[in-house]
Chain A
Amino acid sequence: MTYQGGNYDIVVVGAGHAGCEAALAAARMGFNTLLLTINLDSVAMMPCNPSIGGTGKGHLVREIDALGGEMGKNIDATMIQSKMLNTAKGPAVHSLRAQADKKNYQFRMKEVIENQPNLLLKQQEATEILIEKGKITGVKVLTGAIYACRAAIICSGTYLKGRIIIGDVSYDGGPNGLFPAMYLSQSLKENGIELQRFKTGTPARVDAKSLDFDKMVIQNGDEKIIPFSFETEEINIDQVPCYLTYTNEKTHQIINQNIDRSPLYNGEVTGIGPRYCPSIETKVMRFNDKDRHQIFIEPEGLNTNEIYVQGMSSSLPEDVQIDLYRTVPGMEHAEFMRSAYAIEYDCIHPTRLKASLELKDIDGLFFAGQINGTSGYEEAAAQGLIAGINAVKGLKNEEPVILDRSQAYIGVLIDDIITKGIDEPYRMMTSRCEYRLLLRQDNADLRLTPIGYQAGLINEERYKRFLDKKVTVEKEIERLLSFTIKPSAENNEKMIELGSTPIKKSLSLFEILKRPEMTYDLLAVFDDQRPALNWSEKEQVEVQIKYEGYIKKQLAQVEQYKKLEHRSIPNDLDYTKISGLRLEAAEKLNAIKPLSMGQASRISGVSPADMSVLMIYLEQQKRRNQRAGD
């Protein structure tokens, strides 16, 4: 039996990190939104590591925040330790990472969602998408209810036909002991959406009271916590430490002896796993010259004994897992609370998506998160936010929000997956970004706040603060440019005191700040007209001046890049009809239907000669049309 469950503008399937952002964005933009989850206790669940951020990922969180998403605020409110990574390197690769209190993280996000006007959260398993004339019309759930909608966003994570593998034991299951979603895959396939099978895994959780932390190296957080959200003023918490320990010969011996019992090696698991999260057996087998591997011990929260053992994910049988964990110093008596497992799941081919994350051939149907083949909470949340915004934009008949590769990590992420396709779970990395120096985590607000504001996700007050910061920074840079000091004996004495070398001619403070040993704060001794700047304004001034030359170089590259992105290609082109195009190129172009010359040139298998042929063809069409119009 089916029944009408109600009418919504937007239905979001799945309340993980993608679904939460998607639903919140849609509701905050004023659209009536329904958020479905297979289990109300799994909202914003972190089934793998208990941390948010890290290299590349920290950038994503800051960008989500600048656009008006929730992840940054949520982790700021629930973190138990924080660290800025890569501080020994330059500002472009500084990355924030915080340990979360997992349960607290979930509770806070659930509370935010529950109290969001226009948004209803329901425990229901979506089983079918309802399509009429190439348009989404509703979502059906296991109990028979049909929720009519004008747009739907599928954020099904790793639940689709989820299969859990622990050594020789395997069963249908979702992450963290939850039920899998066994029906939706079929409905997607029936609507022409091809699926592929990916795999990921997670280590065991062990009981803190069974560990001996004295045998491990303590890892504390930073003294001063820098928040993720540009709205969070400061964070004052008692931080909880993590620990570091190592595997050893004995660990490796056990793995070698039992490798034939690993489904990764005996052919049981066929899904493609991420190289970014190799299992311990993969590490030992592939790098057998390494005599030890790092193990990071991370608490899962303040009110639990559960400890996440980073570096020990495995799909070996449970008995082997226990043996090998117990070889590690400090874990000799480790008691398992949850076993390590591998999970296989269905995901789509993201090349079927537009940059808005809408499916190319079904109107109003969006996809975000691990269903698109990505891995990671942050990658999921970033896509969720964009899908949420664009579902609304679609309903309002407005242009979608599409961030390009020179604007945001989010832009790189989406462009990569929809243009290049993926054959393993996709993780954000700073080296994927060609304009890394411009896309810093420190300037995410400057890059993206206006876009969040225009979408209606950033309020007036915050927008005004953003404008103030922007002006303050610009003015201060101007001022430093015109503020010169003379090579007087007094000034040069100060220079030496500051650990620098004397100046030979009059120099602006701008020039002096470019010296590697100089900081904005140090220059105060020369500067009696200095305005009061807060730390993030100072940071901007300093970074923008110190790396000015390199930033300019990248900006020049971006200009070229933008020109090509703006050369649009009609999306109804049948490339196989272009006679001069090689078959391989024509097929690839037909599958992806790039929107611009820039995007087309990034498709693998499309050569410069193909691009030239395409240009000639487009010019030919243009002239034909002009002639027809005359």
Chain B
Amino acid sequence: MKEQLLNEDTIAAVATGLGGAGIGIIRVSGDQAIALVEPLFKNPKGKTLTKAASHQLLYGQMVDPQTNMDIDEVLLSKMVKPHSYTAEDVVEINCHGGIVPMQKILGLLLSAGVRMAEPGEFTKRAFLNGRLDLTQAEAVMDIINAKTEEGLKYSVSQLEGKLSDHLEEIDQELLAILSHMEANIEYPEFDIEEVTNSEIKTSVVTAVKKIDQVLEGSEAGKIYREGITTAILGEPNVGKSSLLNTLLMENKAIVTDIPGTTRDIIEEYINVKGIPFKIIDTAGIRETDNEVERIGVEKSRNLLDKANLVIFMRDISKPLSQREEELMTLLKNKNTIYIANKTDLKETEKMPDPWIPMSLLTEAGIDLLKQKMVDMVYAGTVNQDADYLVTNSRHINQLNKCKEHLHAALETMASGMPVELISIDVMNAVESLREITGKAVGMDIINQIFKNFCIGK
């Protein structure tokens, strides 16, 4: 946490979620803000960020300097210190293309040496740099605490399940080899097998492979996986699974099944006009629709808690059941789209607001539904959680750092350096990894030594 206490480096974060109008803003602040964004930016007339005037918008493309490929059409605004929110040099990148390019840009910034801001860090800097008034100190502390708690919630929910298992495996692998090296160093005369370079190499390479697996999962799937969480609710046989199939039909390509994110609730992804939606409990939808089985109230509640958007569906040809009434009370405070299905069975002149008439046989109403879904996102009613994006980018960045240290360890070894230098690299790798989980290394190495080896006079 040294960097974040020094306030000297350049930080970035998503300043707004992909809410209204689908525009997201990435804010970069610090001495290097302009210099680090510059190589990622291309203006059609050759204008540069460095030469641009303060507080003016600059149109152009963000490009990946490695591949020279365009990533997104953006508007940059440069704010030269002290005339910015943080009183540091600030560049704001207004992205248009939605969540995927945003994630990509953030990733490029991080690998260029920008650090992901801690929760509330922009506000903290603004205060420390005298931008905020003395009376606002308390409010700043509150923001830091609130954002930390919020961030924690997301990172914990993201760390549930297989991802956390993978990280734990990598951690254990590295800790085991590290404590073996350290035991050899601390107790050279004891009966502990000297760890060989080939053993270290095996462990390091194994760890690198596992990191690559996690990274692959995160890059191919995770990005799409952070869509707007959507639940489809309704009584059995109202047509939920048909709706799901219809929505999925056009989206076969991005239905992924990457281990590590799905557990008992199966999720599937659809892309509606560039906005990813994550439909949760697809297994439940199919099950309850096939067998005449109702989902319990508790499970409904559970689903509702998870969802940012709910699609509630009923069969218009049947009278409203007591269950449906119950469900609809639960939905009162949720962002809900109401669908009256099976209009083919019961001709209805006009559906009362907010019901969307639908017939899945003729696909009538599907376009209206899609429009409504997109409208709700653009209107900002339903918000893509920026924190998901942030934690995800942060994890990817830390994993990459961890990998770099492991490669350094292999190099150190190859250049014939002694074990205590290899150990420094492996230790750095563990620390990078631990920044994801927030667990300090502290006494873990020493504890491991005494747990695994019988040493001491």
Name the A residues within 8 Å of B184 (CB-CB).
89
Assembly CA distance A296 to B191 (angstroms): 12
Assembly CA distance A91 to B419 (angstroms): 10
Identify which of B3, B418, B440, B450 gathers the most chain A CB atoms within 10 Å of its CB: B418
Assembly CA distance A310 to B457 (angstroms): 6
- Taking a contact as CB atoms under 8 Å apart, the answer to whether A620 and B419 are in contact is no
Do A437 and B186 contact each other (CB < 8 Å), given the known contacts A612-B4, A612-B144, A616-B128?
no
The reply on A191 being an interface residue by CB < 8 A is no
Give the nearest-CB partner of A553 in chain B: B424
Assembly CA distance A311 to B456 (angstroms): 7
The reply on A560 being an interface residue by CB < 8 A is yes
Kindly specify which of B114-122, B227-235, B326-334 makes contact with the partner chain: B114-122
Name the A residues within 8 Å of B145 (CB-CB).
580, 582, 609, 613
Partner of A431, one of B118, B186, B416, B457: B186
Contact residues, A369-422 vs B (CB, 8 A): none
Assembly CA distance A601 to B3 (angstroms): 12
Q: Hey, what's the 0/1 contact readout for B414-439 against A, CB within 8 Å counting as 1?
A: 01111111001000000000000010
The reply on A432 being an interface residue by CB < 8 A is yes
Partner of A619, one of B1, B128, B138, B450: B128
- Taking a contact as CB atoms under 8 Å apart, the answer to whether B419 and A597 are in contact is no
Do A561 and B2 contact each other (CB < 8 Å), given the known contacts A290-B454, A313-B457, A619-B137?
yes
The reply on A462 being an interface residue by CB < 8 A is no
The reply on A276 being an interface residue by CB < 8 A is yes
Give the nearest-CB partner of A611 in chain B: B5
Do A516 and B185 contact each other (CB < 8 Å), given the known contacts A547-B421, A580-B141, A616-B124?
no
Taking the closest CB of chain A, its distance from the CB of B180, in whole angstroms, is 12
Taking the closest CB of chain A, its distance from the CB of B189, in whole angstroms, is 7
Contact residues, A265-279 vs B (CB, 8 A): 274-278
Contact residues, A415-458 vs B (CB, 8 A): 429-432, 436-437
Do A560 and B424 contact each other (CB < 8 Å), given the known contacts A294-B190, A612-B120, A624-B134?
no
Assembly CA distance A93 to B418 (angstroms): 10
The reply on B442 being an interface residue by CB < 8 A is yes
Name the B residues within 8 Å of A615 (CB-CB).
5, 124, 128
- Taking a contact as CB atoms under 8 Å apart, the answer to whether B134 and A616 are in contact is no
Name the A residues within 8 Å of B454 (CB-CB).
278, 283, 286-287, 290, 293
The reply on A570 being an interface residue by CB < 8 A is no
Name the A residues within 8 Å of B82 (CB-CB).
none
Assembly CA distance A616 to B186 (angstroms): 41
- Taking a contact as CB atoms under 8 Å apart, the answer to whether B127 and A619 are in contact is yes
- Taking a contact as CB atoms under 8 Å apart, the answer to whether A275 and B421 are in contact is no
- Taking a contact as CB atoms under 8 Å apart, the answer to whether A616 and B140 are in contact is yes
Partner of A430, one of B185, B412, B442: B185
Name the A residues within 8 Å of B43 (CB-CB).
none
Assembly CA distance A296 to B190 (angstroms): 10
The reply on A623 being an interface residue by CB < 8 A is yes
Q: Hey, what's the 0/1 contact readout for B180-207 against A, CB within 8 Å counting as 1?
A: 0010111111110000000000000000
Assembly CA distance A561 to B1 (angstroms): 11
Taking the closest CB of chain B, its distance from the CB of A31, in whole angstroms, is 37
Name the B residues within 8 Å of A526 (CB-CB).
none
The reply on B56 being an interface residue by CB < 8 A is no
Taking the closest CB of chain B, its distance from the CB of A265, in whole angstroms, is 17
Name the A residues within 8 Å of B320 (CB-CB).
none
Give the nearest-CB partner of B147 in chain A: A609
Name the B residues within 8 Å of A56 (CB-CB).
186
Chain B contact residues: over half helix, strand or loop, or mixed? helix
Assembly CA distance A617 to B124 (angstroms): 11
Assembly CA distance A277 to B415 (angstroms): 36
Contact residues, A55-98 vs B (CB, 8 A): 55-56, 85-86, 88-93
The reply on A116 being an interface residue by CB < 8 A is no
Name the B residues within 8 Å of A55 (CB-CB).
185-188
Name the A residues within 8 Å of B251 (CB-CB).
none
Identify which of A89, A294, A550, A564 gathers the most chain B CB atoms within 10 Å of its CB: A89
- Taking a contact as CB atoms under 8 Å apart, the answer to whether A437 and B124 are in contact is no
Number of A interface residues in the complex (CB < 8 A):
63
Contact residues, B386-432 vs A (CB, 8 A): 412, 415-421, 424
Partner of B440, one of A286, A292, A310, A604: A604
The reply on B292 being an interface residue by CB < 8 A is no
The reply on B148 being an interface residue by CB < 8 A is yes
Interface size class of B (residues with CB under 8 A): 35 or more
Assembly CA distance A486 to B353 (angstroms): 89
Assembly CA distance A624 to B137 (angstroms): 11
Assembly CA distance A550 to B418 (angstroms): 12
Taking the closest CB of chain A, its distance from the CB of B190, in whole angstroms, is 6
Taking the closest CB of chain A, its distance from the CB of B56, in whole angstroms, is 32
- Taking a contact as CB atoms under 8 Å apart, the answer to whether B134 and A560 are in contact is no
Give the nearest-CB partner of A284 in chain B: B454
Taking the closest CB of chain A, its distance from the CB of B419, in whole angstroms, is 5
Give the nearest-CB partner of A274 in chain B: B456
Assembly CA distance A528 to B27 (angstroms): 60
Assembly CA distance A620 to B445 (angstroms): 39
Do A86 and B456 contact each other (CB < 8 Å), given the known contacts A609-B148, A619-B137?
no
Do A277 and B446 contact each other (CB < 8 Å), given the known contacts A93-B185, A431-B182?
no
- Taking a contact as CB atoms under 8 Å apart, the answer to whether A609 and B420 are in contact is no
- Taking a contact as CB atoms under 8 Å apart, the answer to whether A617 and B137 are in contact is yes
Identify which of B128, B190, B415, B420 gathers the most chain A CB atoms within 10 Å of its CB: B420
Assembly CA distance A276 to B446 (angstroms): 10
- Taking a contact as CB atoms under 8 Å apart, the answer to whether B6 and A580 are in contact is no
Name the B residues within 8 Å of A620 (CB-CB).
134, 137
Name the B residues within 8 Å of A564 (CB-CB).
2, 5-6
The reply on B212 being an interface residue by CB < 8 A is no
Name the B residues within 8 Å of A623 (CB-CB).
134
The reply on B142 being an interface residue by CB < 8 A is yes
Taking the closest CB of chain B, its distance from the CB of A575, in whole angstroms, is 13
- Taking a contact as CB atoms under 8 Å apart, the answer to whether A90 and B417 are in contact is yes
Q: Hey, what's the 0/1 contact readout for B312-354 against A, CB within 8 Å counting as 1?
A: 0000000000000000000000000000000000000000000
Taking the closest CB of chain B, its distance from the CB of A313, in whole angstroms, is 7
Partner of A275, one of B4, B190, B445, B456: B456
Contact residues, A451-474 vs B (CB, 8 A): none
- Taking a contact as CB atoms under 8 Å apart, the answer to whether B5 and A597 are in contact is yes
- Taking a contact as CB atoms under 8 Å apart, the answer to whether A85 and B188 are in contact is yes
Taking the closest CB of chain B, its distance from the CB of A376, in whole angstroms, is 11
Identify which of A275, A313, A567 gathers the most chain B CB atoms within 10 Å of its CB: A275
The reply on A49 being an interface residue by CB < 8 A is yes
Taking the closest CB of chain B, its distance from the CB of A374, in whole angstroms, is 15
Contact residues, A589-618 vs B (CB, 8 A): 597, 601, 604, 607-609, 611-613, 615-617
Name the A residues within 8 Å of B457 (CB-CB).
49, 276-277, 296, 310-311, 313
Assembly CA distance A567 to B6 (angstroms): 9
Partner of B415, one of A290, A516, A554, A607: A516
Assembly CA distance A55 to B186 (angstroms): 6
- Taking a contact as CB atoms under 8 Å apart, the answer to whether B442 and A616 are in contact is no
Interchain Cβ contacts under 8 Å between A and B, 27 examples: A86-B188, A88-B188, A89-B188, A89-B420, A92-B420, A93-B420, A274-B456, A286-B454, A311-B457, A432-B446, A550-B417, A550-B424, A563-B6, A564-B5, A564-B6, A580-B141, A580-B142, A580-B144, A607-B148, A608-B4, A612-B118, A612-B120, A613-B144, A616-B128, A619-B127, A619-B137, A620-B137
8 closest Cβ pairs, A-B complex: A580-B141, A90-B418, A516-B416, A620-B137, A609-B148, A287-B454, A275-B450, A608-B1
Additional A-B contacts beyond A89-B419, A430-B186 (20; CB < 8 A) = A55-B188, A56-B186, A85-B188, A86-B188, A88-B188, A89-B420, A90-B421, A92-B421, A93-B420, A276-B457, A278-B456, A290-B454, A547-B421, A550-B421, A560-B3, A579-B138, A609-B119, A613-B141, A616-B128, A616-B137
Residues of A within 8 A of B (CB): 49, 55-56, 85-86, 88-93, 274-278, 283, 286-287, 290, 292-294, 296, 310-311, 313, 429-432, 436-437, 516-517, 547, 550, 554, 560-561, 563-564, 567, 579-580, 582, 597, 601, 604, 607-609, 611-613, 615-617, 619-620, 623-624, 627
